[in-house]
Structure formats: C-alpha cells, structure tokens
C-alpha cells in the first residue's frame, strides 16, 4: 500500500544553517505530496504541497520538489531560524484524495 | 468558526470508562478524517467520512471505537471501555474533498487512560 518514509530526528541546527529533511514515498498512481508542520502546542498545518511530478512547493523559505524518478519530496531551507523549531511531517494523498498517509515526523530544534 | 474545533482538548478517563470526542469541521467541508497520534509518531488513519457517509473505517483499532457524522457536519468519535493503549492524541481534519486539497487539522483531543 501507499506509505511515506521520512528522516528520523531529532535534528538540531544552529540559526542560519541549511536544512534538509528527507522524505520518500511509495504509491500507486499519482499522489499529491505535502509537508505539514506542528509548532509546539499547536495543531498540524500545511507548510507546502506539490500535486504532480516536477512541481516545486514553497512557503516561508521552505521548498520541496516532487521527484517521481526518485520517489522523493525532500524539504529544504537555506537558512533556518529559531522560529522554525517544530515537528515536520511528510504526507501523501492517494488518487482519490480520500486517504492521506503521514510519515513519523522529524523534530527540528534551531538554537541561536 | 474559522477552523476545525475539537473538544475536549484534554480528557482523563479511568480504564473501562466510555469517552466521546467531538469535532466541528470547517463549514462546507465535505470530507472529515479522524487520526490517532501516539507520542513521537505521525498521525495514523482511523476513519473517513464524506458528508454523512462513513466510507472507510479500516483504521479503527477495535470494535470499541465508533465514529459518526449524522448530519454531515459535526462528528463524534466514541471509545467504549477505554484501555491504557488508547491513550493518544485524537486528531480531526476536514477538507473540501479533492485529491489536491489540503487537510485542515484541529488541535486535537489528548486522551489519557489511567
């Protein structure tokens, strides 16, 4: 069945460092791919998404490119801030949009 | 309201008690999902509604779990005879129901079973 595998954490970076969180997926058909973020004490919220191969999602300085050939959707940011400290979840939705699959989450802590 | 609202935010139950968790989705959202999130894990699918129809309940871990959405809006997740392994955060999410649409999550209901 469909599934998502993401890099395990926790990840600790200094402010302004480069961030990569790896995510790979297994799916039949043509899924849509998402990154969700959960800030401390808050619910999950969408960070960015890509709905077809080679699409790049971007938001708040974060980017991820839908790579069908490597079945990947890695999250990157060139210069992290303390306010980026959160848990990041990679997710996919199946062909119907009726089922979403989430990775286990990667905790990021950015220190000043 | 503007977002997905869940209540209660925190619930402590004694083992064997029944609990009911409520979700009020975004108005007009056709699809409603329940997820279970254990500590340090990602959300695990429980069940899915399209309007009032429960189209998928394959993720419900046992017959002690029951969900309903009788009028296609508010949904209730009921857990009967709670066990310690039921302790988790229960997340509700809604969406417009398209493949490319995002899920909007509530803040969750944290259930602790003693």
pLDDT in tens, B47-67: 999 999 999 999 999 999 999
Among A39, A69, A70, A99, CA closest to B46: A99
Pairing of strands B44-50, B31-37: antiparallel
Q: Output the six-digit token pair for B17.
A: 């008690």
Chain segment A53-110, per-residue pLDDT in tens: 999 999 999 999 999 999 999 999 999 999 999 999 999 988 777 788 999 999 999 9
For residue A100, the chain B residue with the least C-alpha distance is B45
CA distance A84 to chain B (A): 18
Q: Tell me whether A45 touches chain B (CB under 8 Å).
A: yes
Residues of chain B with pLDDT under 70: 1, 99-100
Distance, CA of B57 to CA of B55 (rounded, Å): 7
pLDDT at res. B99: 67
Asked whether B34 and B77 are in contact (CB, 8 A), the reply is yes
Chain B positions in Cβ-Cβ contact with residue A3 (cut-off 8 Å): none
Burial of B51-73, coded b for 16+ CB within 10 Å and e otherwise, reads: eeebebeebbeeeebebebeeeb
pLDDT of residue B108: 95
Q: Determine which of A55, A90, A102 to mutate to test the interface with B (most B C-beta atoms within 10 Å).
A: A102
Higher pLDDT, A90 or A7: A90
Classify residue B3 by burial, with Cβ atoms within 10 Å: 0-12, 13-18, 19+.
Answer: middle
Tell me which residue of B46, B52, B49 sits closest to B64, measured CA to CA.
B46
pLDDT at B52: 95
Look up tokens 């009967």; give the residue: B80
pLDDT at residue A105, as a whole number: 94
CA gyration radius for chain B? 13
């Amino acid at each position: 069945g469909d599934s998502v595998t993401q890099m395990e954490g926790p990840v600790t970076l200094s402010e302004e460092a480069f961030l990569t969180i790896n995510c790979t997926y297994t799916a039949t058909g043509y899924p849509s791919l998402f990154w969700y973020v959960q800030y401390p004490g808050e619910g999950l919220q969408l960070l960015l998404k890509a709905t077809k191969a080679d699409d790049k999602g971007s938001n708040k300085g974060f980017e991820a490119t839908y790579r069908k050939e490597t079945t990947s959707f890695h999250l990157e940011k060139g210069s992290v801030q303390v306010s980026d400290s959160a848990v990041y979840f990679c997710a996919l939705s199946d062909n119907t949009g009726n089922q979403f699959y989430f990775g286990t989450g990667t905790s990021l802590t950015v220190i000043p | 309201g503007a977002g997905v609202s869940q209540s209660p935010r925190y619930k402590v139950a004694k083992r064997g008690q029944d609990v009911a968790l409520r979700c009020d989705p975004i108005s007009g959202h056709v699809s409603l999902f329940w997820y279970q999130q254990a500590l340090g894990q990602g959300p695990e699918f429980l069940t899915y509604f399209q309007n009032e129809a429960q189209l998928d309940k394959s993720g419900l871990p046992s017959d002690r779990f029951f969900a309903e959405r009788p009028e296609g809006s508010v949904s209730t997740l009921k857990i009967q005879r709670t066990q310690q392994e039921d302790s988790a955060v229960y997340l509700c999410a809604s969406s417009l129901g398209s493949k490319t649409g995002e899920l909007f999550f509530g803040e969750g209901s944290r259930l602790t079973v003693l």
